[in-house]
Amino acid sequence: MKVVRLGPDEVFHRFLTPRWAFVPLSGVGAAIDGGRFNRPGVEALYLSRTAQTALEEYRQGASITPPATLAAYKVAVSGRTARPVRKRLR
């Protein structure tokens, strides 16, 4: 894992499956089976610095990309925890 400093206006990306696109701040999908950084039952948002990285994470090696919605997030970091900014990006 690489630890880096976040800029104040950095935008992060995530592709949402149609099933979860209506709740873009939910980590329920990741909680179902768990993931690299969360165990089953624990919600997590997996965000990427670039849309291309988010796409590759979403595809996970598939040759055809399933339907998805690209979402952009601004993240405010305070101490050791991050909280989402609940404001629509334009």
Of residues 80 and 61, the one with the higher pLDDT is 61
Residue 89 has pLDDT above 90, yes or no: no
Instruction: Report the SS3 class of residue 46.
Output: coil
Question: Of 3, 45, 54, which Cα lies nearest the Cα of 24?
Answer: 45
pLDDT average, residue stretch 15-38: 89
Residue 19 has pLDDT above 60, yes or no: yes
Residue 85 has pLDDT above 70, yes or no: no
pTM: 0.72
